[in-house]
Structure 1
Amino acid sequence: MRRQLACVAALAIGLGASPASADPFSDLAALPTFYTDATMKTMKPMTGFKKAWFAMPKHDRLKMTKACNDPAVSKHHAQFCANVLALGGAN
């Protein structure tokens, strides 16, 4: 019985964590620093983008770079990912 409960708990945790980790852009507070407006519609020029990029922690940059290499995720953040990939995913 304990084994069955442990398996169900592991499955529930795995399924619950999946949507949260699918899009690293949704849970990062630093994301607005890449935009010129509060609605996050207008991207900063590359010089401002680069400054904000290198101000982020390295692990966040790695997560975003990995996400930008995933076509399903990068589709929703095309302009942002274009800038990340133009920087070569520089860390």
Structure 2
Amino acid sequence: MKIKTAFLSLLAASVIAGTAFAGILDEPKMMAPFFTDKTMKTMKSDAQMKKVWAKMSKKNQTAMMKECQDAAMSKPHAEFCAKLNALAGHA
């Protein structure tokens, strides 16, 4: 019985934590403007990305930069974050 309780507790914690880890870099509507295709595999040119970045609210810019500075959050988006850091003057 203790194993079952421990397993269910672990499962519940992982579900809650998984939801908490989703951030702005995982939101397709926020990321899509930076890409040329619907699959979001090909990023736009630096000039086009700069235009998209300039049109974003400061709140969204700050959230993206914060996630790009977090190693765990930015790992799946390393190439994007590298370009974003260059755009924002952090690279």
Q: Which residue of 2 aligns with 1:59?
A: 59
Give the match for residue 76 of structure 2.
Answer: 76
Q: CA RMSD in A?
A: 2.4
TM-score (norm 2): 0.70
Report the residue type matching 1:25 in the other structure: L
Shift, 1:23, TM fit:
2.1
* Amino acid aligned to 1:30: M
Q: Runs (4+) of structure 1 moved beyond 4 Å?
A: 15-18
Q: How many residues get paired?
A: 77
TM-score normalised by structure 1 residue count: 0.70
* 1:11-39 superposed Cα distances (whole Å, 9 cap, x missing partner): xxxx8587246422223623101001111
Aligned-residue identity in percent = 42
Which is richer in helix?
2
Deviation string 1:33-69 (CA, Å, 9 cap, x unpaired) is 1001111000011001111111111100000000000
Change (3 A) 1:28 1:42: closer
